[in-house]
Amino acid sequence: MKRRILALIALMFLTLPVYSQSTQNVQEDSKPLECGVTFDWISKTQIQRDENIAQIQNILFSDKIKTKYNKKEIKSQYAEFFKDKDARQNYIEISNGKKEDAQKYYCAFYWKNFLVAYGIQYKNNMKNIYYYDAMGNLRWVDVFSDNYPKFPYRSYQYYRTGELVASYYYVSEYDQYIFDPNKKFKGRWYKENMYNKNAKIIMTRSNY
């Protein structure tokens, strides 16, 4: 049951935006074929969509990108975050709707009205989000590119064991490309809809 719940939470990550501090600055040297000014995924030809996907894929999976950490490496790098020292207090406050305080941003994941996991992003280091189970054990880590939160930026999510969960390319707060650990294109979110490579809607969300 626990594994099933955690798998459902991992799937929910595909539907959620991260804690991006809104800014529309774009780095010209990494600008994709389109940067969210217009959305023409549906009107593009298949060749154009495939070219767009290939370009984003090359940006996300360059030789400099780490697609896997060994267990010792990731545990050493994030040792102080492997256990939420304030897990009990955070669980209670997040369950009661807390989303932010002076030091952190919070998000919650529910299953049948029970808080089963939560995320924490520290304001003094916005380049990571740490996701914990209800007992305060680290399960996933988000790692953002150096230009975060300036669009476009990249995000990589890892299991606590070091394996890559997914890679994201954020064109804007409501426009994201998603790839799986095998570099396969999973879809493009635009506002409430996720489109596949053929421009067909395959998923919807309500919190973009």
User: How many angstroms separate the CA atoms of 70 and 85, rounded?
Assistant: 24
Type of residue found at 179: F
Whether this prediction's pTM lies above 0.95 is answered by no
What local confidence, expressed as pLDDT, does residue 23 receive? Answer: 32
pLDDT of residue 12: 54
How far is it, in rounded angstroms, from Cα 159 to Cα 145? 18
Please, are residues 171 and 32 in contact by the beta-carbon 8 Å criterion? yes
**pLDDT band, residue 111 (cuts 50/70/90):** confident
Residue 41 has pLDDT above 90, yes or no: yes
Question: What are the pLDDT digits (tens) for 67-95?
Answer: 888 888 998 999 999 999 999 999 999 99
Percentage of residues in the chain having pLDDT higher than 90: 66
What pLDDT is attached to residue 39? 85
Average pLDDT over residues 135-148: 94
Between CA 197 and CA 43 the distance in angstroms is 12
